[in-house]
Amino acid sequence: MNVSINTTELKETLELTPSDQNIMLVGKHGIGKSEILTSYFNSKGLKVVTLFLGQMADPGDIIGIPSKVEKQDAKGKATSRTDFTPPYWFPQDGQPIVLFLDELNRARPEILQTVMDLTLNRKLAGKALPEGSHVISAVNDGDEYQLTDLDPALVSRFNIYEFKPTVEEWLNWAVSEKLDERVVNFIQDNPTWLDGDNCEYKGLDKSADRRAWKHVSDIMLKVDVIKDIHKRIIAGIVGVGAAAAFIQSAQQRNAITGKDLLLKYDKTLKTVERYQLHEFAILNESVFRFLENVSLNEREKKVAAENLGQYIDFLRTKKKREALANFTTIFDKGTYEKAIAFMVVNAPEVYAMLNDFVDSLTISPSSTTKSQMN
C-alpha cells in the first residue's frame, strides 16, 4: 500500500523533498494533481512543463529530432555525428524547471525507456536538465484505465504517494475560486458525489470528478432558473445520477450558508432556529470556510464580527449544546487559520470564549460542558 497524502501534506512534501529526488503521485483523474503542482511551483518562481506521456507516439516527442552535425577536426578533416535538436519544452536559458510527466503508466514502452535516463541522470540524449530541476510523475490507478505495467527499475526511482485530497480542501478551494454556491452547497451536503463514488464505471458513461464539478459551476453561474436543457448539459458533465441528485438539491435546498449568517443574520435567524444538529454542523463549517476564503471590506468585517457574536450567544442561550460543541471543535482543530485570525482581530470576545471553552473541556469534559453551555 502506498502512503496516502492530502493537498496540504502534498505541499509540505514538495517543500521538503530535494530537487534530485523524483516524486510519483498515484490517484484518479480529475482530482487536481496538475493544478496544485502548477500553482505551488509557480509561487516558487519555477516553470512547470507538463508532458502527457499517454498521448506520445514516438520518443522524439521527448528527446527531440535527430540531425546530422558536420564539423572539421584540427587537421581540417570533415567529421559528422548525430545530435538531437532539443524539443520545444527543453529549457534553453539554463533556468531550472519542473517536468511533470502525466499519465506515466499509459505511455508506450519505448516512451518509458526514454524516461529512464531522465529520472536517473536528469539527462535526455546527453543534454542535462538545469541544476535544481524537478521531475514529478502522475499515474492513474484503477481497473477503469488502460494501463501499462511499469518496470520495477523505473518505479524504484520515485518516491511514491497516493494523492487523496480531502473534500474539505476542495470546498475551501471552491469558495476561494467563487464557484457557484449551489455546487458548493451540494458537495458539502453530499460529499460522496465529489469523486463519483456513487457510480460504477461503464465504458463511456460519464462520472463525476472534481474537474467536472468546476465545469458544472461554470454553467450554473449563468443560470438562475434551472430548465430541462440545463439538466441535460449537467448530465453530460457529471453523469445522469450525479446530475439528478444535484438538480434536486439546487431546486429544493433552502439552507443557510456561512455568508448568509454573517452578513444577513436577522434574515436567517428564523430558519436557523429550526435547525437540527446535522444542519448546524454544515452551517458551522460553512461559517469557518467563508471567513477563511473571502476578502471583506471594513464594513463587512464589522457586520460579520457582530453577527458571529450574536450566533454564538444564540447557541449558548438557546441551549444548542451539541451545535456549540461542534463549532468549538472546528475552532480547536486550527484548520481554518485565517478564520481564527479574523476572530482574534475583529471578534476577540468570541475568540476568548472559545479558547476558555476548549481549556475547560481539556480539564473536565463532563462537568464543564454543562457549565459552559448553560
Question: How far is the C-alpha of 37 from the C-alpha of 113, rounded, in Å?
Answer: 25
Q: What is the pLDDT of residue 373?
A: 44
Among 61, 65, 57, 12, CA closest to 36: 12
Each residue of 317-363: pLDDT tens digit?
A: 887 889 999 999 999 998 899 999 999 999 999 999 898 878 776 65
Single-letter residue type at 157: R
Q: What is the pLDDT of residue 148?
A: 61
Q: What is the pLDDT of residue 323?
A: 92
Question: How far is the C-alpha of 282 from the C-alpha of 208, rounded, in Å?
Answer: 22
Each residue of 55-93: pLDDT tens digit?
A: 887 777 777 676 776 776 667 677 777 666 777 788 888
Q: What is the pLDDT of residue 368?
A: 40
What's the CA angle centered on 184, arms 241 and 278, to 5 degrees? 90
Among 331, 322, 330, 317, CA closest to 275: 322
Those residues of the chain that have pLDDT short of 70 are 1, 64, 66, 69, 72-74, 76, 82-84, 142-148, 197-205, 253-254, 361-374
pTM for this predicted structure: 0.68
